[in-house]
Structure 1
């Protein structure tokens, strides 16, 4: 259930390395976006980025293309307010901490439909190939009134590749250190009323040893991985008022890890067993959109996802099978949303139902759960004032009915300066593991209830954008993931500062996070969350060249070391890279991660990749 983690010696990159960034450029800046972009996740209605009240970051297609063979978890780590943990190699079990909230307190949407595991309460971001993603929106802050239970820290929404006007084709091939290999191809187009998108990706690597010597369950082997994915989208415009679409996504992975089976009929340990995880994600989404009038749009969405987590074990000496475990979740969701506009204001009425079913080799006392919800939100846009009010009622088949609400407002202090603030409540039911897993679960656990507040200033003038956000989220009955102990209270508070600047062909993005989530009454820190994180990203274009640099400096963090805790030292990581456009539709890209070859740990006992290079050839037509 709980991954072991050990102390690692790490060293920070000297602050002077910031000077190096000036020589590179920054399509890596995940905060610098076009001024006319719209965001869906913040309000569930397409809203111009400049009009948002919520704290949102966007990762667009250009930034994803620059990421090389990194995983989505690596890309998210460059966003303000986001911290990550990783159990080892390039692809392995990972977690996201949004404003200090745990992975199970942030929900993941793919194409508007929620995915994840009902047993762990989390999701597998490492399964999503960057080549198949069109865009990512990250909403920081309590969002349970809009999206229902578990949206304590925020929402991550992934949009896969979509139909495009005309005909677009692309292909890429890449290779790197530690046996990294990647192949990908896609086709997108529009013919009359029909739009289509089809793509596939395959990635693999020999990998690295995921654990540090001396760590619990250490096996001195190399832990590799391979992932394949396929996605398709079909859209049909029935007439001027109605459109239907279908989307499918399949991601099938395999990666090695250090571990032994339980039960253990062959008496193996981590050094004598080969352990392989087989994560898989399958999703199908059907959507019907109707413009009943010029001011009334109705959208009906049906989604079905299957989150598969299977571990298999063999004896290294002779390959004898040593057992397997299975933790699978099938989730179906039906959402009916009506958006009614009055001038610049919008009323949204939402009804949804989500059903989770668990299929596992572990016997759970309860293996199914249904949540039904009704929500209404009203977005007001005035000359100087903006506001958003949301109320929601949900009924959980295990824990009964509960209500959540949220209020947000913004006021223009000047044409370039805006004051924003929000408050709201959250609700989160315990996961099936927290309730029923043998030897770990506690059926007496109660839902976690939170109340969140935040206030911020936003400045935008020409190519300059800056913001400061102060937040505080009090979660009653906080359940510590590693120990499954329910504290009286957790206070998740902090400050996020951002600055984005561009000068013609050069762009700079800087963010600083102070996060201090604490458990009460013990005053212990929430594990795996650093107090201080500074991120700098810079990019520059010159002729056919585009170069970039990313620097992340993090202070120390704590993690679990039974029966106490261990300190994971701070670290600094510098990534650099460049793209050369051989022709307008053909480019060569090189990315060098962890330039200074720093050794650091994001989870106790687990290592991270050292210096590694990835080179790819990319064609777009």
Structure 2
């Protein structure tokens, strides 16, 4: 029965620790220009914790802005992330089932997820519930690949994904959208943003639902039920920003998202003696995020940001008898975080010296009897960004204290050389660490209180080419994780080696835009030399978009090689076959106020698996109409 719980509720079952951190956003946030492919003037924050032009960033970074999100027309945040370099996903079933994100071969708990600077995710499983994030309410996404604990503290083994919600506007803008699709998909949203005097505001609401598909596909599973497993999700967000003086700004952000989805699961204990044929299993997964910031320009070269945040990740499973709705039991795995940070940035000519201190506390409220239910974390970070002539560098040193495991020091050093106007070489090295999650330590029948934090060192070398209409990047990396904790078995191995190659390019030819990426990842544990589960060696993405008058046409192709996953009995491994996906669509700007999107996913109706025994959607179409005034 324990294996059933672990398999069917992956957020509550097995993963790694998610230790909170808060990142202070510097005062002069420069909004990236809107374009399908990032322009040379785009600015990112996550790579250095300070606004930096994309052309000056040393790290391996991807930026997705709102215009691109509108044009790709994806149905969820996970769909967007799955097409980015270095990222693979797994999904336990249909459209909004529990999921995992693997960045550069790291496990789903080894990537830090920030929402407007506040870390989100479960402290029990260690993994974030990205299925809760409403794509319609996202302004931009920044993905930082590579070990980043020196900047962000624990868990940033594979990197950082930073999500920014919708920003206040200058003048009032009203938007609405409605969409329908296959498998009973329905989508709607309303939003307004603008400003009144010195007060900027953004308010939004969105709702999604679907009849869904059957989550499990293996009839031999003890929980298999061939019925449709649907979902409904509702979100509300607000952001206020007040310019007190030219030097001081206050902001407040709020997001509430609630997703209720069905899955095939078995209750334990089972007082009603429910069977797989009459069990209606439901998961109520919600995210509450509240943040406040005070940004100050004390001197022309001195900026500071004080940030406070509260994040709640709630995961409640309930079981009912489908024939009469009788209640058959429930379980919960909830996380509450309180976070604070203070960052100061001192400009020294073209260089920037930054110092930050952070404090966070995380508490779990679970139906499981954990012997420890809270921990405190504090951290201090010092960084120096250097730019002189054709040379640039970033040096970071950080110390973190975990109330359960003591103190850890991490560092990173990156350097870059600009050969000419187009070519640049970069070299990076750094360390990261990750404490075990509460599940890994204390889950009844599974946890091991003797586990110790994982520590790793990462090295990478990259080559970047940028021209007027062509961008190309190549990165080779290796990340050695000592004391790696295997998610499915909770066994601490001597070492895991995460190595790979990442290639990406974007090319503009007249009215056409072409983008492509290829990733080779071969993460393995030692000394048994086993591949990490659910991660393919080869993944390639290709996208072509052509603008024809007011109509934009696009085609997407994804190729993934095979991957491995646990079999049904957890006694061995099964191979999940290679697959190829084809998506097509069109955007029609009917008028300045009205736009129509048509998208067909999995046009070839390919049958494939991202997690063993779990289903994935077949061919499905989606049509949406949006209005903006």
Counterpart of 2:361 in 1: which secondary structure? strand
Q: Give the CA RMSD over aligned residues.
A: 1.3
The answer to whether the Cα contact below 8 Å between 1:31 and 1:79 also exists between their aligned partners in 2 is: no
Counterparts of 1:271 and 1:521, CA distance in 2: 43
Q: Structure 1: where are the runs of 5+ without partners?
A: 6-28
The alignment partner of 2:109 has SS state of helix
Separation of aligned partners in 2, 1:142 and 1:215: 40
In 2, Cα distance between equivalents of 1:186 and 1:235? 17
Structure 2 residue 177 is matched with structure 1 residue 177: no
* Structure 1, 582-591 or 61-70: larger mean CA deviation: 61-70
**Alpha-carbon distance in 1 for matches of 2:220, 2:612:** 8
Show CA shifts across 1:478-524 (max 9, x none).
11111111111000000001121001211000111000000000000
Separation (CA, whole Å) in 1 of partners of 2:87 and 2:257: 24
1:11 equivalent in structure 2: none
Query: Aligned residue for 2:57?
Result: 52
Q: How far is the alpha carbon of 1:62 from its aligned partner?
A: 1.6
Q: Kindly indicate whether the alpha-carbon contact (under 8 Å) linking 1:467 and 1:499 is maintained by their aligned counterparts in 2.
A: yes
1:586 paired residue number: 594
Q: Given that residues 495 and 527 in structure 2 are in contact (C-alpha distance below 8 angstroms), is that contact kept between their aligned partners in structure 1? A: yes
Residue in 1 aligned with 2:86? 81
Q: Distance in 2 between matches of 1:162 and 1:412?
A: 34
Q: Could you tell me how far 1:30 is from its partner in structure 2?
A: 10
Instruction: Say which of 158, 165, 172 aligns to 2:170.
Output: 165
Q: Deviations over 1:166-197 (max 9, x none)?
A: 11111001111111101101101022211000
Contact 1:31 1:500 in 2 (8 A): no
Q: Does residue 1:3 correspond to 2:11, yes or no? A: no
* TM alignment of 1:429-508, pairs within 5 A: 429-508=435-514
Q: Does 1:531 align with 2:537?
A: yes
| Deviation sequence 1:436-460 (CA, Å, 0-9, x none) | 0001111111100000000010011
Q: Find the partner of 1:37 among 42, 61, 64.
A: 42
Unaligned residue ranges in structure 2 (runs of 5+): 10-33
Contact 2:8–2:265 at 8 Å: present in 1 too? no
Instruction: Specify which of 571, 577, 585 is matched with residue 577 of structure 1.
Output: 585
What's the counterpart of residue 23 of structure 1?
none
Runs of 4+ displaced beyond 6 Å = none
Q: Give the structure, 1 or 2, with the largest relative contact order (CA under 8 Å, sep 6 or more).
A: 1
Identify the range of structure 1 (601-610 vs 32-41) with the bigger mean alpha-carbon deviation: 32-41
1:103-502 pair list within 5 angstroms: 103-216=108-221, 217-502=223-508
TM-score (norm 2): 0.94
Are the equivalent residues in 2 in contact too, given 1:233–1:247 (CA < 8 A)?
A: yes
- 1:467 CA displacement: 1.1
Cα deviation, 1:218-238, whole Å, max 9, x if unaligned, reads: 111100000000000111000
Structure-2 change in CA distance of 1:4 and 1:304 (3 Å) = closer
Alpha-carbon distance in 2 for matches of 1:366, 1:306: 18
Whole-angstrom distance in 1 between the partners of 2:375 and 2:278: 39
Deviations 1:336-377 (A, max 9, x none): 000000011001100001100101111101000111000100
Cα deviation, 1:223-272, whole Å, max 9, x if unaligned, reads 00000000001110000110000000000110000001111112223322
SS of the residue aligned with 1:44? coil
Partner Cα separation in structure 2 for residue 593 and residue 299 of structure 1: 43
Query: SS state of the match for residue 178, structure 1?
Result: helix
**TM-score, normalised via structure 1 length:** 0.95
SS in 2 for 1:353: strand
Is residue 2:573 matched to residue 1:565? yes
